[in-house]
Chains A and B, each alone.
Chain A
Amino acid sequence: MSFLLRLALRSAWNRRGTLGLVLASIALSTALLWTLEGLRRDLRSSFSQAVSGTDLVVGARSGSVQLMLYTVFRVGGATNGISMDSVRAVSAHRAVAWTVPIALGDSYRGFPVLGTTTGYFQHFAYGDRQPLALASGRAFSGQLDGLYEAVLGAEVAQQLGHRLGNRITLSHGVGATPGLEHADKAFTVTGILQRTGTPVDRTVHVSLQALQAIHLDWVGGAPMPGVRISAQDARKFDLEPRQVTAALVGLKSRAAVFTVQRFVSEYRDEPLMGVLPGVALDELWDALGLGERALQLVCALVALVSLAGLVATVLAGLNERRRELAVLRAMGAGPRDVLWLLVLEGAVVTSTGAVVGLLAALGAQALAGPVLQARFGILLQMGLPAATQWGVLGAVLLAGMLASLLPAWRAYRLSLADGLSPRL
């Protein structure tokens, strides 16, 4: 038997061109499947890591997915705001470490404007608890001196070509049709954030007071007729906001999250709700699961095509091997030896291909990982293959063996029927 094995290896080596192609195709599809499966997993976690380190998002009572949509993804708008008194009440809870109020509603050339406090830059985190970092400049000061200061997300700055010191004017409202501009109160870009791969990149950040200031002489979505308050004079007014859209809440200990959540929902003066971002984002992902299912379908099709290729290549190669098999038969090799030789060959080629593919995928991941995060905001989790990825690898191996059974069975039948002389 060991002689037959050595013979099989020499025979395989003799056909290394064809087998190499089969091996390469298996390696490619393994790499593709492995990467796609990993990407699917990482896409999901990237999505659910659009916000991290925030234990609760507090807003007016509506749906949790809706609240996530506008507070995290800046999609749609809030039906109701919450009063700053409520925010202060939540901050006063003994389990709460910090609160960051946020206000939405204006835009800058299609990008949402977020009014917040300087605490946002300290507490907001994304991904694996990565804090926001400035690529250049500084955060807005939060003081009256630096009232009209703005911090741009990376995408905003890159798309519009803004640099530090540029002056920008915000538009009232959000949406495709630009509303009226707050032309009299221009903002200066003081900071540009590093790319995060989250909606932060598409956001213009200003202080809550600045939002208050640009709306002083506005009422009902339009400038008040006959009233003009200059940018300078605005500083004399009380700019403390009475209402915000929502508040991000950080706790001293995660264990208290349900206590605080109950405190929020039972708050007397105003109907509020507190949402756990991770849970709500998972819900949202499930609602948007179509893309994920499409990826899965593509994965399955890729696997199918490459295995069909394997079977076709081995079957096509079988005809040129019929003489070889007939010679072996005449020398005393049985049909079962022939079956065994082909299955063995299929197994070796498949497993080698799978290993090569796996190494290629890991190599590509190491090379492309940083680019992916910077350009597309997908955080690849290096060195942590998901269970489903191992499942994919196992499926490729199993399917490869099964696929090699088909040509092997045909060779077995042929060598039974051919006798000594292959009837070609």
Chain B
Amino acid sequence: MPDTVDLLHIHDLRFAWPGSSGDVLALADLRLSPGRSYFLHGPSGCGKSTLLGLMAGVLLPRQGRVELQGQDWAALPAGRRDRRRADLVGVIFQQFNLLSYLSCLDNVLLPCRLSRVRAQRCNGSIQDEAHRLLQRMDLPAALWGRRADALSIGQQQRVAAARALIGRPPLVIADEPTSALDEPLRDAFMSLLMAECREGGSTLVFVSHDARLAQHFDERLSLRDMQAGQVLQETVA
């Protein structure tokens, strides 16, 4: 079966932190399809963030393959890996996503500056695309020129989302981006993020321990169950 139909294919993966004896992650098989959204949950400390690092090619497995669009991360030299990540992956952290010394707009533009592919995939100029995304994220134009650390946490997370989405990367990964937001903000953030990912055709992998968010997603993945060896994919109706 050709791997190319999968956006991401993890095969026989084992990962251990350098210097530690036991593996923190062991995954037999995981396939993510293009354009779908995945809710990755599990108790804290089970290796969710580590898995995201492996998906983005920041970490490399001790054993096994992590293929993004058919290309194993480990097979690339370090420099190519970094460039490929800039081209193909958008990332949202739990908090402190932004470079505080840049304006909101410059933060959103960051991926386009580091990756020509991301810049070329924008509709129109990269500025126009950044403006469009910031507008979509309900950020008033008055804030765009402000330093990132002048914004509230909720606003910062929306800027981070705009940054992850600019240039429509095939894979967007988000590591508990809503944990610092209260409920109304969280729901608004979720629907904006989901809508933009759908529109851009990006696959979204979303890590959270907040089960209430699961309803927004196409599929749910329990890391603990997957670790046990079976791949459990529940399709949400």
Interface positions of A (Cβ within 8 A of B)? 3, 7, 10-11, 13-14, 323-324, 326-337, 417, 419-421
Q: Cβ of B102 < 8 Å from any Cβ of A?
A: yes
Q: Cβ of B93 < 8 Å from any Cβ of A?
A: yes
**Chain B residues near A327 (CB-CB < 8 A):** 93, 96-99
Decide: A11 and B101 in contact? CB cutoff 8 A.
yes
Docked pose: A417 CA to B50 CA in angstroms = 10
Decide: A331 and B18 in contact? CB cutoff 8 A.
no
Interface positions of B (Cβ within 8 A of A)? 17-18, 49-50, 52-53, 56, 58-59, 78-79, 81-83, 85-87, 89, 91, 93-94, 96-102, 110-111, 113-115, 173, 175
Docked pose: A337 CA to B94 CA in angstroms = 24
Top 6 closest pairs, chain A to chain B, by CB: A332-B86, A419-B53, A14-B101, A334-B82, A330-B91, A332-B114
Decide: B78 and A335 in contact? CB cutoff 8 A.
yes
| 19 pairs of residues in contact across A and B, judged by CB atoms under 8 Å | A323-B96, A326-B93, A327-B99, A330-B85, A331-B111, A331-B114, A332-B86, A332-B115, A336-B78, A337-B82, A417-B18, A419-B50, A419-B59, A420-B49, A420-B56, A420-B58, A420-B175, A421-B49, A421-B53
A332 partner, pick from B52, B94, B111, B175, beta carbons under 8 A = B111
Name the residue in A11, A329, A330, A333 with the highest tally of chain B Cβ atoms < 10 Å from its Cβ.
A330
Knowing A326-B93, A420-B53, A421-B94 are in contact, say whether A334-B99 is a contact too (CB < 8 A). no
Decide: A332 and B79 in contact? CB cutoff 8 A.
no
A299 CB to closest chain B CB, in angstroms? 38
If over half of A's interface residues share one DSSP class (helix, strand or loop), that class is named, otherwise mixed; here it is: helix
**Chain A residues near B78 (CB-CB < 8 A):** 334-336
**Chain B residues near A331 (CB-CB < 8 A):** 86, 91, 110-111, 114
**Chain B residues near A330 (CB-CB < 8 A):** 56, 58, 85, 89, 91, 93
**Chain A residues near B110 (CB-CB < 8 A):** 331
B69 CB to closest chain A CB, in angstroms? 16
| Nearest-CB residue, chain A, relative to B102 | A10
| Nearest-CB residue, chain A, relative to B160 | A327
Docked pose: A326 CA to B96 CA in angstroms = 10
Name the residue in B17, B58, B81 with the highest tally of chain A Cβ atoms < 10 Å from its Cβ.
B58
| Nearest-CB residue, chain B, relative to A6 | B113
A330 CB to closest chain B CB, in angstroms? 4
| Nearest-CB residue, chain A, relative to B149 | A14
**Chain B residues near A332 (CB-CB < 8 A):** 82-83, 85-87, 111, 114-115
Docked pose: A331 CA to B92 CA in angstroms = 10
A408 CB to closest chain B CB, in angstroms? 17
**Chain A residues near B87 (CB-CB < 8 A):** 332
In addition to A7-B99, A330-B93, A332-B85, 7 A-B residue pairs with Cβ atoms within 8 Å of each other are A330-B56, A332-B86, A333-B114, A334-B79, A334-B81, A419-B49, A420-B56
Knowing A3-B113, A333-B82, A420-B53 are in contact, say whether A324-B99 is a contact too (CB < 8 A). yes
**Chain A residues near B83 (CB-CB < 8 A):** 332
**Chain B residues near A326 (CB-CB < 8 A):** 93
| Nearest-CB residue, chain B, relative to A12 | B101
B209 CB to closest chain A CB, in angstroms? 14
Docked pose: A333 CA to B18 CA in angstroms = 21
Docked pose: A323 CA to B94 CA in angstroms = 11
| Nearest-CB residue, chain B, relative to A322 | B96
Docked pose: A326 CA to B52 CA in angstroms = 13
**Chain B residues near A13 (CB-CB < 8 A):** 101
Knowing A419-B49, A419-B50 are in contact, say whether A329-B58 is a contact too (CB < 8 A). yes
B91 partner, pick from A335, A417, A420, beta carbons under 8 A = A420
Decide: A11 and B99 in contact? CB cutoff 8 A.
yes
B224 CB to closest chain A CB, in angstroms? 19
| Nearest-CB residue, chain B, relative to A332 | B86
**Chain A residues near B97 (CB-CB < 8 A):** 327
Decide: A336 and B79 in contact? CB cutoff 8 A.
yes
A318 CB to closest chain B CB, in angstroms? 15
| Nearest-CB residue, chain B, relative to A327 | B99
| Nearest-CB residue, chain A, relative to B175 | A421
Docked pose: A326 CA to B175 CA in angstroms = 13
**Chain B residues near A329 (CB-CB < 8 A):** 58
| Nearest-CB residue, chain B, relative to A413 | B18
Name the residue in B78, B89, B91, B102 with the highest tally of chain A Cβ atoms < 10 Å from its Cβ.
B91
**Chain B residues near A417 (CB-CB < 8 A):** 17-18
| Nearest-CB residue, chain B, relative to A419 | B53
Docked pose: A327 CA to B114 CA in angstroms = 12
Docked pose: A374 CA to B115 CA in angstroms = 66
**Chain A residues near B56 (CB-CB < 8 A):** 330, 420
Name the residue in A14, A336, A337 with the highest tally of chain B Cβ atoms < 10 Å from its Cβ.
A14
Docked pose: A230 CA to B98 CA in angstroms = 99
Docked pose: A327 CA to B52 CA in angstroms = 14
Docked pose: A259 CA to B59 CA in angstroms = 83
**Chain A residues near B101 (CB-CB < 8 A):** 10-11, 13-14
Docked pose: A333 CA to B110 CA in angstroms = 11
